[in-house]
Amino acid sequence: MIEWLFVPAAYLIGSVSSAIIICRLMGLPDPREQGSGNPGATNVMRIGGKKAAGITLLGDMLKGLIPVYGANLLGMPIELLAATGLAAFIGHLYPVFFGFKGGKGVATTIGVLLGFSWLLGLAFVATWMLIYKVGKISSLSALIAAALTPIYAWFIVGKPTLVMAAALMTVILLWRHKSNIQRLLSGAEEAIKP
């Protein structure tokens, strides 16, 4: 079925690293070699400031949103919708264009969730913002928002296939943040200065 081309296409779109591309275009150091070494918006903020981080965040969100929104717009089966979202997410984590070494997936998760349901995506963002306002720790905000996502998905979307996709992204996202979790538990995780 031609519809299943959405899945490899979503993976390839997810594999485009916004952080690396933006840093190159703006003359900034490679985010894989500076700061935390993670090619994501938070690390770009550390090495390049708010503007670079904001563009990176938007790029990473769009590569999750666009494939899922496209699949949704074309009325694809829900299983294909879920697979498309997961493929974009996995592409970000393990990008074929950048040696399979990608980011941790927070912004791309937001994009995928917005594609599933704008309310689900906003629930993640609102949780992240609330926790960040209190603690100023990006990873903690992401971890709590991710942990609550399957619950949000159950009540907002209610479709088991999408709930399972959201839960799988949550598990992988938490695993990708294992070093952050260790630093949080030891009190060594740094807050991001506004």
pLDDT digits (tens, 9 = 90+) for 14-69: 999 999 999 999 999 999 998 888 899 989 998 999 999 999 999 999 999 999 99
The predicted pLDDT at position 21 comes to 94
Predicted model pTM: 0.93
Low-confidence ranges of the chain (pLDDT < 70): 1, 192-194
To which H or E segment does residue 129 belong? helix 118-135
Quote the tokens at residue 162: 């999408």
The predicted pLDDT at position 124 comes to 98
User: What is the Cα–Cα distance from 177 to 157, expressed in whole angstroms?
Assistant: 26
Handedness of CA 187, 192, 193, 194 (dihedral sign): negative
Handedness of CA 134, 135, 137, 139 (dihedral sign): negative
Query: Helices 50-73 and 18-25 sit at what angle, rounded to 10 degrees?
Result: 140
